[in-house]
Structure 1
Amino acid sequence: MHRSGFACFVGRPNAGKSTLTNAIVGQKVAIASSRPQTTRHTVRGIVTRPEAQLVLIDTPGLHRPRTLLGERLNDLVYATWAEVDVIGVCLPSDQRIGPGDEYLVAQIAKLPKRPTLVALATKSDLVGRERMAEHLLRIASLEQTHGITWAEIVPTSALTGDQVTLVTDMLIAQLPEGPAYYPEGEATDEPTETLIAELIREAALERVRDELPHSITVTIDEMGLREGRTEDRPLLDVFASLVVERDSQKGIVIGHKGSVLREIGTAARAQLAALLGTPVHLDLKVKVLKDWQRNAKYLNRLGF
């Protein structure tokens, strides 16, 4: 019997969903950052085995929206829930289960057609045995509180790899019988242009002040292999824009004499070369779209 199907990870922002997705797929398909609300669209990671194919969907964190972008991201989460066979609820072990987690589980409990539910105690490397035991008991108590049933409750650490294979096996075991959806060897169905934009945004998120991350997005203006290069010496030219909401933010991203923008470019270029297997020339500029997170026209143009 060949199993195939879709699973999504949900949780509050910064619960470790993207890091776990990358660990299970075995390569980077979703950007991961210490900043909350890093993920802004659904990312599909693909795990293919002779007996099964698991398609992982990494979703934005469910949160109380303050902008039109936030509302659209939450809508994306709810739409994804309706399409999957399994929902993995990520509940970080180093944090107490709070109102945000309770709200998330309550929303899942209301689904008219509820997928199989598994609980993942992420970031297990950050706590000791006693704290973990307490956390797992609290997760189990959510069954009675919200009228749900966990098919499995598993501690895991994507950072150390602890029980990542077990989580993969467990998710596959919950899938229905069916054919493979993607060719063998494919790790994601994300367009290359989107992956490039996301890796540039990840580099920016790690190098700007705390108040800036939600205001940054990235567009790819142009890219292509440079003409006149021999096949054994290719060079990919990428021209991209870091988009912010205010002129003051533009100055922060550029930095003193362009220092921050250069750091972003250096970090992103290394990631892109590793991803694509090709040397990259990256040309970055910064532009302002005033309050783009609240403007429907800008959001549509930016693909949200």
Structure 2
Amino acid sequence: MTAVTGQGPDPFVALMRRYVVDYTNRQDTSVCAEIMEPDYTLRMGPHEVSGRDEAYIPASRKQFMQFPGLGLTVHEVVTNGERLALRFSEHGASRRHEGAAAAWTGLGLYRWNGTRLQDNSVEQDYLSRRRQLASGTPAAVGGPAVAPWDTPARPADPAAEAVVRSWIARGVAAGGPAAARSSTVNTDLTWDDGGPGSEHAVLADAASVIDDLFSAGDAVAFRLTCHGRYAGGLDDVTDAPAGTPATCHLVGLVHVRDGQVASGHLVRDRLGMARALSPAPARSR
């Protein structure tokens, strides 16, 4: 057998392997104390779940109870050693929906202190999940990353970050697919899971606040809070006309080539936006 040489896995990536394999896919919340700080904070849409033991673990257990066979498939990992972005799908069958199954995409932006995780800003396409569970027809799970746990850290690239900041300022991310189609730059972008409805913009005349942004080589990850007017097209919104002021959060991971955003994925909190616009009876996630 030929010996394997090299510096070994990046320590942040190795920690995330434990997060995915030991904690999430084994549904072993006892691992959380080993990989997360006590004040670990999860941000999703307008919500913040702060406190590993008193808030985060109970929320995770509720998810595992609903999806007892929940799995997480990793599609992409990027890191600069201090920050890490994870693009993934979660999938499983829901006890609350008579065993109906679903697969939904997500993007998480993680921070650590060199030992344990401190926080995660994430979006998951819960609108797609809700529709799949209602229809009984699950989406396909995308192909896994070939070697996610061998991902090397790459230094941050301020020039790539500047390109993405300018791109965000032009409204392409907040405007969604419609803005991308009207752009003079041909980019390969996927919104949400790429399934039905993902081709529609949800906001018009949107402006973005950058909540978080970092790079690892030509990969740039970010979280935005986008304010604008509801553009219509969400059949889950029943009592708010197009033009109603609205807010949508999104997380993105894009790649810069030749001074332009060339490809990437963005996940919007479409369900949270729909609920804010039609806040009547509670809907199933």
Q: Greater helix percent: which structure?
A: 1
Does TM, scored on the shorter chain, surpass 0.5? no
Q: Greater strand percent: which structure?
A: 2
If asked which structure has higher relative contact order (CA below 8 Å, sep 6+), I would say: 1
Bigger radius of gyration: 1
